Amino acid sequence: MAEQPQRESTYSRLGRELRTAILRHDYPDGVRLPTEAELAVTYGVSRQTVRRAFQDLVTEGLVHRVPGRGTFATPRGEQYLRQFGSVDDLMGLSIDTRMDVVTPLHRRVDVDAAGRLGLNTDRVHKLAFLRVHEDVAFCHTSVWLPPAVGQLLESMDELTLPGTPSAFTVIGLLDQRLPEPIAEAEQSITVAEATPEIAGHLGCEPGRALLRIDRVYQTVAGQLVELAISHFLPEHYSYRVRLRRSGR
């Protein structure tokens, strides 16, 4: 029998919704977030649940408390900071960043990518784009897709025309079109030198040390549907993940 996924806790769901609102700039500098009592009434939860959600946001650095005044979103500087703990969080990159296509979606032969996707063919679909926050490109991502998956996106001008900006994520687009939803991502984090091509896109010198994150996404049925390799400028990006002990 397949293992059933754990249900998201009430405070985690509330925290996710508040996090999305903050990243969407619903609470700009100086605008107070709703109080614990107000949120408890709005969402039909206990104040303890709201307090737990606020504690997580404080730990993440997204909000700060001002005694006697309330809770406020923490002003953000040039560095892009996001909390990633789920595939939904990765899809949420479209909330406050832009995707600029630099290599349009096309078909090609790539033995290595096909192998990592477990394909019985060497043909894949590939595209590359920049992830931009407040007009600063902080990440270059190359994406490889199985042929049948890539065909689902071939009609999208946002992915097939170079230089086209959009407010999408590739996994978000696929999740709307695949017969089964994306459920998991296997991830590895390393350091890599900037190639001349990537350096040109990110505006840094070739050979510069970059944060490299590889992710392979699969559906609930176990089908591998995307390989994404991203290179991040460390001065413009901070990666944070919450770890919990099992059974607690």
19 in a structural domain: yes
Which of 51, 73, 95 terminates a domain? The answer is 73
**pLDDT surpassing 70 at residue 6:** no
Q: Is pLDDT above 80 for 79?
A: no
- Shared-domain flag, residues 48 and 33: yes
95 and 112 inside one domain: yes
Q: Which of 73, 105, 128 is the last residue of a domain?
A: 73
Do 106 and 69 lie in a common domain?
no
Looking at the structure, tell me whether residues 69 and 99 fall in a common domain.
no
- pLDDT, greater one: 90 or 13: 13
Report yes or no on 2 lying in a domain: no
Mean pLDDT of 224-236: 91
15 and 114 both lie in a single domain = no
Domain end residue (candidates: 22, 50, 73):
73
Q: How far apart are CA 45 and CA 41, in angstroms?
A: 7
- Condensed to tens digits (0 to 9), the pLDDT of residues 81-112 reads 444 444 444 444 545 688 899 999 999 999 99
140 band by pLDDT with thresholds 50, 70 and 90? very high
More confident residue, 164 or 241: 164
Assess whether pLDDT exceeds 90 at residue 224.
Answer: yes
* Residue 48 domain boundaries: 10-73
How far is the C-alpha of 61 from the C-alpha of 160, rounded, in Å? 37
Q: Are 87 and 205 part of one and the same domain?
A: yes
Least confident of 46-50, 231-235, 236-240: 236-240
Share of the chain above pLDDT 70, in %: 83
Q: What is the CATH number of the domain that holds 19?
A: 1.10.10.10
Going by C-alpha positions, the residue among 139, 43, 33, 48 that lies closest to residue 90 is: 139
pLDDT confidence bin for 149, thresholds 50/70/90: very high
Which residues does 160 contact at the CB level (< 8 Å), separation at least 6? 104, 105, 154
Which of 207, 42, 126 minimizes the C-alpha distance to 231? 207
